[in-house]
Amino acid sequence: MRCPNCGFDFSEGYLCPTCGIDTFVFLKTRNLSIRLYNESLEMAKEMDLSGAAEKLEQSLLFDKSNIQARNLLGLIYCETGRIGDALKHWIISTSIMKENNPAVGYMDFLQKNGREMEKYNDAVVMYNQALLYLNHGSDDMAIIQLKKAIDSNPNFIDAYNLLTLCCLEENNHKRAQHFIDIVLKKDKKNPNALKYSSIIGGGSTSVIRKKAARSTEKKEDDKTVSIKRTDSAPPIPRYKRKEKKIGVLEKRDLISFLVGICTTAIVILVLIMPAINEGKDKTILELQTKVDNYAGETKMTPEEVLAMRTELETLQGENKQLRSEETKQANLELLQTAVSQMTDNDFEGCVATLDRIDTMGFSEEDISKYNSVKATAYPKAADNLYTKGKSDFLSNKFPEAKINLENALKYASNENFIDDAYFYLGKIAENDENADQAKTYYQKVITEYPDSNQLANAENALSQLAE
């Protein structure tokens, strides 16, 4: 049997003698993750997006490296207006598998539509502002912000649900049913929308629409509103806040507020900052061209040339500052990805992400966080890589073993396997007919690790090479 985790071949039992994993349980959990993904795929096809998202989250609990599940979850989040959550999963997905990963295309598509992303970002900001208004009792201002958020992002289901809740607060069931219908059209089994529908009393959409049609109190300006706007339904009246509420700020909304802040940062980092810098670059290029073209012309006075050069230098300074800030934010985002990977016990992915981080411009708190993640992830990654390298070596897969063992030494500090890794690398160098490198590795074992269990083997190997 071949271990699905480390690749070691063994013939008896289910426990891998190298990494110690129960291969039976490992395969069961992986298959369960695949089954949950397939179920969620069917649910998504039937427009049960909430149910599909829940299944996909469960799928990732069983196998965090299930790329298909992670990418589909990102698509569902994108469809329901949670762009930041979608980007988070796609970033993790590409860190696990860079080649031939559809998530790369998804992120490229979003980046090429920068103006739309600005609108989605504005929608998140407005939604968070609405939560603050509700928390302070300013219901009217919250409703205005929510309506603007929906205009900016018509797929923002959380905003529709919060508007529904505001309508139920004032017993405006006709307006509430309108927003419920919108949500259920996009997500047929959205739990919040179904719950709010039950509060109304189970009345069908058609009955409510008939009552609305018989109403003689419609305002004249309702007939002229564009169907693309959220105001196409009956207007929400202004009202005073009641003393007793039915729970406008539920726990979920408070959590959404915190998540929304992170979402805003991600959207600004990934999509908006590059667009700003691109505009600066274009302006600088145009000015530079003008300066080069006009420098030798007599029609321009020295003052005009100087003014143009001053403007050019100013723009270059601003652009440099923006680039620096963009780089810093990108590195902070990589740090957050590394933290997420460490939380998922993906230590190899975590250290690979840490290697890409430049801490220039980090605050003391950020540097402390970076060092803390590094101190935890490096030893774990080194141990995992050594286990894989040793397994590859014993399986005579020397190229793979060399890469894993060298990476293990890269992240190791004082682990007890370092001498073994040097010895195995020496044997691999011998196999590659690189005697000088083999001698170097054996000498390290002899000189630096006199108590090593590989000492006699290294001395014997070194003496044979000397013959």
Q: Is the pLDDT of residue 458 over 60?
A: yes
Strand extents, DSSP E, 173-271: none
Check if the beta carbon of residue 16 is closer than 8 Å to that of residue 3: yes
pLDDT band at 8 (very low <50, low <70, confident <90, very high): low
How far is the first Cα of the chain from the last one, in angstroms, to the nearest whole number?
A: 40
Q: Is the pLDDT of residue 272 over 70?
A: no
Distance between alpha carbon 94 and the CA centroid of its chain, in Å?
9
Burial of residue 65 (number of CB atoms within 10 Å: 0-12, 13-18, 19+):
middle
Closest residue by Cα to residue 68 from 82, 79, 52: 52
Q: Is the pLDDT of residue 349 over 80?
A: yes
User: Tokens 């009955």 appear where?
Assistant: 207
Question: What DSSP designation does 424 have?
Answer: H
Q: What is the dihedral angle through the alpha carbons of 26, 32, 36, 42, rounded to the nearest 10 degrees?
A: 120
Q: Do domains 23-112 and 117-215+223-249 have the same CATH topology?
A: yes
User: Looking at residues 206-226, what average pLDDT do you find?
Assistant: 37
Q: What percent of the chain has pLDDT over 90?
A: 16
So what's the pLDDT on residue 4?
55
Q: Is the pLDDT of residue 453 over 80?
A: yes
Its CATH architecture, for the domain 380-466, is Alpha Horseshoe (1.25)
Q: How far, in Å, CA of 245 to CA of 249, rounded?
A: 9
Check if the beta carbon of residue 151 is closer than 8 Å to that of residue 73: no
Q: How far, in Å, CA of 49 to CA of 43, rounded?
A: 7
Its CATH architecture, for the domain 117-215+223-249, is Alpha Horseshoe (1.25)
The set of residues, in sequence order, having a beta carbon less than 8 Å from that of 332 and lying 6+ positions away, is 362, 366
Most confident of 163-172, 274-283, 307-316: 163-172
Q: Is the pLDDT of residue 190 over 70?
A: yes
Residue 202's region, left for phi above 0, alpha for psi from -120 to 50, else beta, is left
Q: How far, in Å, CA of 19 to CA of 238, rounded?
A: 65
- CATH superfamily, domain at 23-112: Tetratricopeptide repeat domain (1.25.40.10)
Output the CA–CA distances (angstroms, integers) from residue 55 to 44, 58, 74, 89, 276, in the order listed: 10, 5, 13, 15, 38
Q: Is the pLDDT of residue 409 over 90?
A: yes
Q: How far, in Å, CA of 203 to CA of 222, rounded?
A: 24
pLDDT band at 438 (very low <50, low <70, confident <90, very high): very high
Q: What percent of the chain has pLDDT over 70?
A: 68
So what's the pLDDT on residue 108?
83
pTM for the complete prediction?
Answer: 0.43
Spans of all domains in the chain: 23-112, 117-215+223-249, 270-375, 380-466
Check if the beta carbon of residue 66 is closer than 8 Å to that of residue 60: yes
Q: Is the pLDDT of residue 163 over 90?
A: no
Closest residue by Cα to residue 377 from 400, 350, 410, 404: 350
Q: Is the pLDDT of residue 151 over 80?
A: yes
Q: Is the pLDDT of residue 408 over 90?
A: yes
Least confident range of 171-180, 215-224, 404-413? 215-224
Q: How far, in Å, CA of 63 to CA of 75, rounded?
A: 19
List, for residues 320-341, the tens digit of each pLDDT value: 665 667 777 788 888 888 888 8
The per-residue DSSP string of 378-415 comes to: HHHHHHHHHHHHHHHHHTT-HHHHHHHHHHHHHH-SS-
So what's the pLDDT on residue 27?
74
So what's the pLDDT on residue 245?
43
Residue with the bigger pLDDT between 319 and 26: it is 26
Output the CA–CA distances (angstroms, integers) from residue 391 to 9, 22, 103, 384, 385, in the order listed: 9, 16, 32, 11, 10
Q: Is the pLDDT of residue 223 over 60?
A: no
List, for residues 94-130, the tens digit of each pLDDT value: 888 888 888 888 888 877 777 777 788 888 888 888 8
So what's the pLDDT on residue 19?
64
So what's the pLDDT on residue 427?
93
Helix or strand run (H / E) with residue 427: helix 418-431
So what's the pLDDT on residue 174?
84
Q: Is the pLDDT of residue 292 over 90?
A: no
So what's the pLDDT on residue 218?
38
So what's the pLDDT on residue 247?
45
